[in-house]
Amino acid sequence: MKRTGVLTVTQVNQYVKFLLEGDENLRCVYVTGEISNFTDQYRSGHLYFSLKDDKCALKAVMFASAACRLRFQPKNGMKVLVRGRISSYEVSGQYQLYAEEMQPVGAGERAVALEQLKERLRKEGIFDVERKQKLPRYPMHVGVITSSTGAVIHDIRNVLSRRWPLAEIILYPVAVQGTEAVPQLVQALQTFNERKCADVLIIGRGGGSMEDLWAFNEEPVVRAVASSQIPVISAVGHETDVTLTDFAADLRAPTPSAAAELVAPDRAELTDMLMQTAVSMHMKMEQRLNDERMQIDLLAQSLQEALEKPVQVRRQELSTLAGRLEDLSPLKVLHRGYSVVTSAGGDVLTDSKVVRVGEQLRVHMEKGSLFCTVDEKEDLHE
């Protein structure tokens, strides 16, 4: 730039920018510092912030095209490593760092991204206890989402065959790590829910490094687990391994074998329970029968009394009638010395006019009878 006298502000700012961008040392720099004055322009997607150390500060900007690639959310106070270039913003004459990449220093980008995703999902209520579903007590169809070649499916089969052989295991084979893992895990969860072919689901894999288990931290998988209408047990890695899927699932198991034990009742315990129930039912049935027998005995006694009372009344009436009949009996008359005369045919005779002289008659007395011949008769004249 030649000296031409008085310069305009624009000329100065353009020259400074030209110098900065012409310096090869400033075209690609790595700067580490603590984020301050962070501003996220939600409409444009640009990020504005400063990097500072214990003495100085450097203004910086990350345009939306680079910011969209971040796997974490920058915050004030976070120490980061930034790659970019140094240039000047002509309008203000402020030189600044134009950031193209950024990653946290110390914990690592993935760990920070994981914590931020966890906090965001927690605020949405994805991990709330209130939304957890209860496991079915006696599942007949157990869906398993895991690798078809790993030890997980074999462990689950061994445990269920021992504890609850009535259950059918439905395996949906998936990749449990790598680029194909996330879409396959999501598809498996959706398929089970669409077909409603399982009473409970076990999703998991064996142990491994944080990178090996990372698919179970991905947001699509976590949301698919949380939205499942079928209860889900997460069994990812070993007991010390924790993923976001564990928080979203209805129940977390420390190992796949433990998941199989949680999903089904113990056959031996169930048998003992059924035996105890059978004994209890038998005792209650015996007690019920005894109570019913006592009730029947009381009813029979009442019925007997109800039947005997009218019989006794009738017997009394019959006795009275018999006494009265006995008083009217001809035998009573015979007992007093009177006799009854009958013809040979057995007809009782009360009028001498119907008897002829010489006719054979029979005289009935209290003790014995007389067979007589009529020698003479005397009729009464009216």
Task: Please indicate, yes or no, if residue 2 is contained in any of the structural domains.
Answer: no
Task: Please indicate, yes or no, if residue 343 is contained in any of the structural domains.
Answer: yes
232/311 same-domain check: no
DSSP 380: P
68/89 same-domain check: yes
The answer on pLDDT for 108 being more than 80 is: no
Q: pLDDT grade, residue 146 (50/70/90)?
A: very high
297/314 same-domain check: yes
Q: pLDDT grade, residue 4 (50/70/90)?
A: low
User: In the block, which residue shows the tokens 């760990």?
Assistant: 111
Task: Please indicate, yes or no, if residue 252 is contained in any of the structural domains.
Answer: yes
**CA gap 325, 11 in Å, rounded:** 157
CATH of the domain at 218: 3.40.50.261
274/362 same-domain check: no
CATH of the domain at 71: 2.40.50.140
Task: Please indicate, yes or no, if residue 158 is contained in any of the structural domains.
Answer: yes
The answer on pLDDT for 163 being more than 70 is: yes
Q: Which domain holds residue 363?
A: 333-373
Total domains present in the chain: 4
Q: pLDDT grade, residue 139 (50/70/90)?
A: very high
DSSP 137: S
pTM: 0.55
Among the residues of the chain, which ranges form H helices?
9-22, 64-67, 109-124, 151-163, 181-195, 219-226, 244-248, 256-263, 267-328, 330-335
pLDDT tens track for 327-364: 666 667 777 777 888 888 888 888 888 888 888 988 88
Task: Please indicate, yes or no, if residue 380 is contained in any of the structural domains.
Answer: no
Q: Any residues with CB less than 8 A from the CB of 80 and at least 6 apart, and which?
A: 32, 33, 34, 35, 51, 74, 102, 103, 104, 105
The answer on pLDDT for 284 being more than 80 is: yes
**CA gap 213, 207 in Å, rounded:** 8
Q: What is the mean pLDDT of residues 319-328?
A: 76
78/170 same-domain check: no
pLDDT tens track for 14-23: 888 888 888 8
DSSP 129: G
Residue 218 has what pLDDT?
A: 94
165/235 same-domain check: yes
Task: Please indicate, yes or no, if residue 378 is contained in any of the structural domains.
Answer: no
44/177 same-domain check: no
34/169 same-domain check: no
**CA gap 177, 240 in Å, rounded:** 19
51/74 same-domain check: yes
